[in-house]
Structure formats: C-alpha cells, structure tokens
Structure 1
Amino acid sequence: MDTLDPARPWSAIARPELTGGRTIGVLLSHGFTGSPFSMRPWAEFLNEHGYAVEMPRLPGHGTTWQDLNSTGWDDWYAELTAAFVRLQQSCEQVFVCGLSMGGGLALRLAADRPGDIAGLVLVNPAVNSTNKQLLALPVLKHVVKGLPGIGNDIKKKGVDEYGYPKVGLRALSSLLAGWKALRADLGKVKAPLLLFRSTVDHVVDPSSARIILGSVASADAREVPLTDSFHVATLDNDAPAIFEGSLAFLREHAAV
C-alpha cells in the first residue's frame, strides 16, 4: 500500500563545513505504530547543523495497521541496518537516535556492532513492559487481530503524530520477543548513551529506562528527565531540549 505523505522516509547529505570538516551521520528510528513523521523535526534540525541523516520508514508502518501485522522485529531491524550501512559507507562516524521501539532497535544495533556506533541518543526507549495484560498475548493474537492504538501520547495541544488507530497483535508479539532477546544482550552495548525520559509516559513504563541504564556497558550513560512531555516527546513541549541536548552530545563524542 502507498505510504501516507507525512510518513515518508527522509534523508539528507552532510555539510562537513558545519561539523569541523568531518562527515558525520545520524540514523533516526521512529517507534512502533508510528512513522518518520515523529522524527522529522529532529532530523531536519541535525541536518541544519551539518550532519548527514537517514530516517527510514520501518516495514508495515505509515500505511495501515493491517500491514504492520504482517511484519515483525526482524523486518524492522533489517531496514534500520540497511540504512545504517548506507550512512557508514559515506561517513566517518555514525550516531543512532531512536524513539520508543526505535530506541530498542538502536540498542540492538549497538549490541551487534559495538565498534561501529559513535553514540546513542534514545527518547523514551522501550525494551520491557510491566503490563500484565500482555501475558495473554500468545493466545489472544490468534483470536483478535488488533486492539485500540497507543498513538498520540502528546501533552502539547493540537499535535498529531499520524500513528495507527489500532495495534496489530501479531506485530506486538514479535516486538516482545525482540525485547526479550535484546535485554539479554544489553551488556554488549558500549557506545556512549544519552537517554531522555518523560516523567509522565502513558505508553512506556519506567522499567525500560531502569533496565537499559543498569545493563549497558557504556562508560558514558546519562539520563535526562523530560518534565513537560508525554511519550512522543520529539513532537512535544520538550522537543527543543532534546534537539539541543543531542547536538551537544554529538559534538562532544564526535570530537573524541
């Protein structure tokens, strides 16, 4: 099915004259049931400051929730990996940024390629859930195709992330399986890590941030609370703080 206009992937070339003469890339990943639209302002901000950007649309996203239900963790990770390889071929260093599930995928990439990633910037990353209702998922996914969606958890009025109205349960089941394997490998993550976490998040509970920060082997792992945003913080009131904070982090670690 055709991709909705707001959900289209986006890429832009580097401008080394703005980054100290170096060609540095940033890969950005959106979240589950979302689309590149939720990351577009961040991507444009980083490109305006000279960074090459790749922002793929993960398979099954940006079309219909039924499409999403025919894809899974391996499909999403393969798409992100392909985008990473494209950046790596043209850049001296590559950073990876992710929102929600995109944060989990970024961590998977960092665990699998510990020497290739210059740093991670994660916004409300998801690797776990304490929701007891998910215990019924192995059976429920064979009975019900979808449940009400998790999109638009945004404090700022009048903002729409163009997410799905429903969550496909087969896709959700694959997500949980991907999380389980990732949690076991978080100790392989060595890249510097900047984690932004909304203090009020109706989608991802605090267990994910605790697990990530308590498990990675990164010598530099920082958490920054966001007090004026909900889950989709990249489109919310704290977005400027995320953009400026990530830029400072990239400049710090690109210098290294």
Structure 2
Amino acid sequence: MMPVDRSFLLRADEGAGPRVGMLLVHGLGGTPVEMKSLARSLRDAGTTVLACQLAGHCGTADDLRATRWEDWHASVEDGLARLEAECDIVVVGGLSMGGLLAARLAWAHPARVAGLVMLAPTLWYDGWSIPWYSFLLKLLIDTPVGQRFEFAERPPYGVKDERIRRLVLAAMQRGDSGNAGLLATPSQVIRQMWSLAALVKRILPAIRQPALLVHARQDDIAGLSNTLHLQRHLGGRVDVLVLEDSYHLVTVDRQRGLVSRRVAGFLEGLRDEAARPQPALVA
C-alpha cells in the first residue's frame, strides 16, 4: 500500500503585484504536517503555499528504505512545476534535510527559483543530543550490523516545548508517520542523506539567489555550525536568524511565530524587488 499523500496547497487571495508562491519541503523521515503552521501564516500574509510530500515518506520504514535522494528531489521538482502554474515568483524552502533539497533545486533552476529559505539546515548531525559514537555508523555502514542499524529518535525529539513534544512523541509511538514522521530512520536512508549533503556542499558557491537561514542556537540535532558553513559558502546574499528558545523543529517549536514572520518578511522583500521597475536598456 502506498503512503497517503499529505501534500497540501494553500492559495492566498490575489492582490496587487506579482503572485508569490512558496514551496515547502519537510525533513528526512518527516511529513508535510510539520510545515502546516508556517504555511498557514504565509498564506495569511499573501503567499500561496505548497507543502509537498517526499517520495517514500509518511509510510513505513520499508517505504522510505526503497527510495534514494534522487526520488525525493523528483518530488520537489514536481512541486515546483505545480506551483509555477499558480504563481509569478516561486521561492523554495525546507526544514532540516528538506533545506538541502531546496538548495539543490535552487541550484538546478536559477531562473525558476527566486529565493531560498533553509530552516535548521542539516549538512551533518552534530547537535547536543547526537550520541558521541554516531561517527561509527560511517565505518560500519557496509557491514551486516550497519545495514540493520536504525537511527532512533531521542529525547527531546527536536522540540523544546514540552506540550508539543508529548504530542509528537505520542503520534510517533502510535506509528502515525503521516502526522509525526518515523520513530527511527534506517541506515540506508541516512546514507542517501550523506550523499545529498556532499553534493550540496560542492555546489553552494553556485547558488546565487537571496537566502534566509534560520537556526536554533540550542539545536539538538544539527548544530549552528551547519548554518555558519552555509553563510560562508552560499554564493548570494544571505540573511540569518538565530533562535534562542527553540530546538531543531523550528516550524513547530516555541518560536514558530517568529520564524513565520521572518519568512513572510523575506518573501515580501522579494515581491517588492520583482515589482520594482527595471531600468531601460540604452541602445
């Protein structure tokens, strides 16, 4: 049985100026539901939003294990084409590993993607909750032990807000992957993420669209070093927001409202730039 499609499209009321669309990409083993609060806020601020579901996600671990990062990227490509039919300007943004897919899409389509938003971007796992021995997985990945290994979610599950954390954990423990993602990620899937991250690190200087990076100082999964690396190596203008009261899942945690406002402001700036008259060329 194929996973239920949790993708959703929220259309904004048409106003003056260019129609702006935002493609949102969830994280590895995650679900579009983790983007819902942000999507609603952006829609209310005048942006049409499509939150796409990545191939193999919102189902079982075997569903996810059967995919490669190229399959996830194909889902993002489909989302871009769908949103282009609705909007004049498209910006792509992603959470965690979804931010890497967003960056890869911006690199592949510089004329079609006007801006990039990376939320808790994850090039490597170095947050404070990651076990010190996690580096051994790279050494053991091709052994029978490594093939059977699963990267289990650990407290605090990316969420600082205790009430929200309890809700997320309860859904994961029920096996409700469509709403809360998987409780454990197979090692083969982690390996695909490593391959994607290695590619994205190589192409960063060629990504020249304006970018907004949002990262929690206390991120439990991916340390602030990830955003500092991106800030240094992306090829275009980069704005950074560092959150002081959040963990990894910045779209659902305590400062989700601040995240929404900052992303909305970033989109408004791109809309204003697109609406500004261009100087005439002198023959």
Match of 2:261 among 234, 238, 244: 244
State the 1:117 CA deviation: 1.5
CA distance in 1, matches of 2:140, 2:45: 44
1:225 match: 242
SS of the aligned residue for 1:186 comes to helix
Give the stretch that moved more between structures: 236-245 or 146-155: 146-155
Q: Deviations over 1:145-202 (max 9, x none)?
A: 5231368310011211612111111111111011111110111111111111100111
Structure 1 gaps of 5+ residues are none
Q: Residue 22 of structure 2 contacts residue 93 of structure 2 at CA under 8 Å; is this kept in 1?
A: yes
**Alpha-carbon distance, 1:120 to partner:** 1.4
Deviation at 1:137, TM superposition (A): 4.8
Residue 281 of structure 2 aligns with which residue? none
Secondary structure at the counterpart of residue 139 of structure 1: coil
C-alpha distance in 2 between matches for 1:113 and 1:133:
36
C-alpha separation in 1, matches of 2:199 and 2:98: 15
Corresponding residue of 2:108:
112
Say which SS state the counterpart of residue 34 (structure 1) adopts. coil
**Partner in structure 2 of residue 81 of structure 1:** 77
DSSP 3-state at the match of 1:224: strand
State the Cα distance separating 1:213 from its structure 2 match: 1.0
Question: C-alpha displacement at 1:14, in angstroms?
Answer: 3.5
Pick which of 151-160 and 192-201 moved more: 151-160
Q: Residue 154 in 1 paired to residue 159 in 2?
A: yes
**TM-score between the two structures when normalised by the length of structure 2:** 0.83
2:161 is the alignment partner of 1:138:
no
Please say which of residues 88-97 and 225-234 is displaced more in the overlay: 88-97
Deviates more, 1:189-198 or 1:7-16: 7-16
1:38 Cα shift?
0.7
CA shift in 2, pair 1:243/1:140, >3 Å: farther
- Separation of aligned partners in 2, 1:248 and 1:168: 37
Aligned residues: 251
SS in 2 for 1:174: helix
Percent identity for Structure 1 against Structure 2:
27
SS for the counterpart of 2:49 is strand
1:37-72 residue CA offsets vs partner (Å, 9 max, x unmatched): 110111111112221111111112111222111112
Structure 1 residue matching 2:208: 3-state secondary structure: coil
Label 1:106 to 1:137 Cα distance change in 2 as closer, same or farther (>3 A): farther
Q: 1:134 and 1:188, CA in 2 relative to 1: closer, same or farther beyond 3 A?
A: farther
AA at the equivalent of 1:153: G
Aligned pairs for 1:22-101 within 5 A: 22-101=18-97
Letter of the structure 2 residue corresponding to residue 166 of structure 1:
A
Q: Which 10-residue stretch deviates more, 89-98 or 201-210?
A: 201-210
Contact 2:141 2:147 in 1 (8 A): no
Q: TM-score normalised to the size of structure 1?
A: 0.91
Deviations 1:99-133 (A, max 9, x none): 10111111111111122222112111112345523
Give me the whole-angstrom Cα distance separating, in 2, the residues matched to 1:158 and 1:34.
Answer: 19
Which stretches in structure 2 are left out of the alignment for 5+ residues? 127-133, 169-178, 274-283
Q: Which deviates more, 120-129 or 226-235? A: 120-129
> Any conservation in 1 of the 2:125–2:221 contact (CA below 8 Å)?
no
Contact 1:128/1:207 (CA < 8 Å) preserved in 2? Answer: no
Q: Which has the larger radius of gyration?
A: 2
Note if contact 1:104-1:127 (Cα within 8 Å) is conserved in structure 2.
Answer: yes
* SS state at 1:39 partner: helix
Structure 2 match to 1:178: 196
Q: Which residue of 2 aligns with 1:196?
A: 214
